[in-house]
Structure 1
Amino acid sequence: MRETSHVHRLPVSTPTLFPATTTNVYVVEDQGQALLIDAGYENPAAAEHIIEYVKALGIDHLQGIVLTHHHPDHSPGARALADFFDCPILSHPLEAESINEKIAPRSVTSTLNEGDTIPVGGIIVSMLHAPGHTQGHLNLWLEEERLLFTGDNIVAEGTTWIGPPDGDLIDYLATLNRLRERAPALIAPGHGEMIRNPLEKIDFFIRRRLEREQQILGLLQQKPASVTDLVQAIYQGQVHPSVIWVAERTVSGHLEKLLKERRIKQEEDLYSLM
């Protein structure tokens, strides 16, 4: 579906995490050229839908497929799309190895870093290295429309999990503040509808992380606790058992941040205040 003069959003069914049920694939187009952002899960029906949509736009040249990060609800679909369009697959260098495992025998054609640009017709898409959810997460900026593609750093519903082995909460908060400084007019998230209150949404994500941090510190003030103890205290009855691992990684991410900041200490599996 067309969202702006240059951007189309294609939500494709994918095995992702609740509340999301789809992953957004974006088409950025101008003057008969286009760039795809993310590719979804490896799903023949989704690939056919994307291909037919791009063909219907009259696109005669696809600049490539930029993958925001390696997670399996964003990257494996690139194989079928690159085969059909005979176009490059692009990612940050820190994501390339993990993506290659998911798209073999294809591989990342070349890598993108902070400040790199891709021309699409008469418009320019710029790369932002935005670590947090993963180390090599890319966000993209379309100055023409002051539009920010955030991958999983910002999603439309709920929040995104940040924790080991990929995530780093210190990096993530720094990324959110950098994105806020861009003052986007619109956010195109990895999951869900377009976000039309960008600054309010970014502030919500920052506030939610800091509130969770204070909650963990409050629990540790009462007594030392393990990750399991903290997850039970915070999430009991709030998350389905099938995704309790997300809560565990989220808590672990907060604990890693607090350890790096020397605000807590660890003895075996127990954490306590300094």
Structure 2
Amino acid sequence: MTHSAAPPGRPSGTPPRGRITERASCVLAPNPSPMTLDGTNTWLLAEPDAELAVVVDPGPLDEGHLRAVTETVAERGQRVGLVLLTHGHADHAEGATRLAELTGAPVRALDPALRLGDEGLAAGDVVTTGGIELRVVGTPGHTGDSLSFHLPADAALLTGDTVLGRGTTLVAHPDGRLGDYLDSLRRLRSLTEGDEGAHTVLPGHGPVLADAQGAIDYYLAHRADRLAQIESAVNRGLLTAAQVVADVYADVDRAVWPAAELSVRAQLAYLRAHGYPTARPDA
């Protein structure tokens, strides 16, 4: 689930399809909406000569989409060896059980309720199915169970809904927390530094971003600006989430106001914890 308001100065781009990097390909799910942008990006990861592929975020329970995923893998002489989930929102995870039925592959996720098989998934884990190396990065904030994956061989970050290819994401209060989200962005930012840092974002929605560091810097600046706007609104006596959304998000498509309200609640909770007792995140 995303908040799709496009920030100024960011090109809209086109959704990724087919091979994007040496090891990463995308199959776009047919679930476009104001909340999912062009649809969910299902990522297929494999070493060029490997027998097994890793699928990240199978997307919705859509038989045609899941068939396209398995057929794309088979066309390359491979089979699905593992399914990974960045988080549990239905537009990313709903198809996981069915894909496991079709392929026999286990499903690994941070949330035990989403797992199929004996192994979980946690920050610091390294996934090596089919010889590929994926480093698991804890990135809570959008949701409490959000993870990202670092693919160092392609200098890429698979960010789920933590960083999108277009627009900005929501912090899904109360499960998502703004403080956690800011820490997660800084954690991803640290992975873009140095000569061997990641430079490409492979997001859960929207186009690929070739400047990972610039994208994350934009996200951090955007969050700081939004928080300042909401702080100003609270100082002017707009204390409830609905009041703040109508004021701060007046120029944003009303179709995403419900999502914006979740983010506003998360920001009001953050302000309340940082010296604004009049902020009312649950009002």
- State the TM-score, normalized to the length of structure 1: 0.88
CA distance in 1 between counterparts of 2:140 and 2:171 reads 10
CA distance in 2 between counterparts of 1:267 and 1:258 reads 7
Secondary structure of the residue aligned to 2:202 is: strand
CA distance in 1 between counterparts of 2:143 and 2:135 reads 19
Equivalent residues of 2:269, 2:280 under 8 A apart: no
Equivalent residues of 2:59, 2:91 under 8 A apart: yes
CA deviations 1:141-184 (Å, max 9, x no partner) are: 11112211100000011100013132111000000001000011
1:81 to 76, 99, 105: 99
Q: Which runs of 4+ in 1 moved over 4 A?
A: 267-271
2:42 to 25, 31, 41: 25
Q: How far did 1:218 drift?
A: 1.3
Within 5 Å, which residues of 2 pair with 1:160-175? Answer: 160-175=169-184
CA distance in 2 between counterparts of 1:18 and 1:70 reads 15
What letter is aligned with 2:20? E
Secondary structure of the residue aligned to 1:46 is: helix
CA distance in 1 between counterparts of 2:189 and 2:32 reads 30
CA deviations 1:41-78 (Å, max 9, x no partner) are: 00111111111111101104x33100110001000111
Q: How far did 1:5 drift?
A: 1.1
Equivalent residues of 2:266, 2:281 under 8 A apart: no
1:259 to 258, 261, 272: 272
Q: Which position in structure 2 is the counterpart of 1:44?
A: 63
- State the TM-score, normalized to the length of structure 2: 0.86
Distance 1:19 1:90, change over 3 A: closer
CA distance in 1 between counterparts of 2:176 and 2:278 reads 20
Relative contact order (C-alpha < 8 Å, sep 6+): which is higher?
A: 2
Q: Which position in structure 1 is the counterpart of 2:23?
A: 6
Between Structure 1 and Structure 2, the one with more strand by share is: 1
Secondary structure of the residue aligned to 1:216 is: helix
Within 5 Å, which residues of 2 pair with 1:58-73? Answer: 58-60=77-79, 62-73=80-91
Equivalent residues of 2:109, 2:120 under 8 A apart: yes
Percent of pairs identical after alignment?
27
Q: How far did 1:269 drift?
A: 7.7
Q: How far did 1:17 drift?
A: 3.8
CA distance in 2 between counterparts of 1:174 and 1:218 reads 23
Distance 1:44 1:268, change over 3 A: closer
Q: How far did 1:247 drift?
A: 1.5
Within 5 Å, which residues of 2 pair with 1:33-182? Answer: 33-60=52-79, 62-92=80-110, 95-97=111-113, 99=114, 107=116, 109-182=118-191
What letter is aligned with 1:89? V
Secondary structure of the residue aligned to 1:73 is: helix
In structure 2, runs of 5+ residues without a counterpart are 1-17, 193-197
CA deviations 1:210-239 (Å, max 9, x no partner) are: 101111111222235222211111123522
Asked whether 1:233 is paired with 2:247, we answer yes
Distance 1:234 1:124, change over 3 A: same
Equivalent residues of 1:15, 1:21 under 8 A apart: yes
CA deviations 1:6-42 (Å, max 9, x no partner) are: 1111111126544603101111112222111111000
2:263 to 245, 250, 273: 250
Give RMSD over aligned pairs.
Answer: 2.0
Farther-moved stretch of structure 1 (64-73 vs 76-85): 76-85
Equivalent residues of 1:16, 1:73 under 8 A apart: no
Q: Which position in structure 2 is the counterpart of 1:193?
A: 207
CA distance in 2 between counterparts of 1:232 and 1:108 reads 45
Equivalent residues of 2:238, 2:244 under 8 A apart: no
Equivalent residues of 1:132, 1:169 under 8 A apart: yes
- Number of residue pairs matched by the alignment: 259
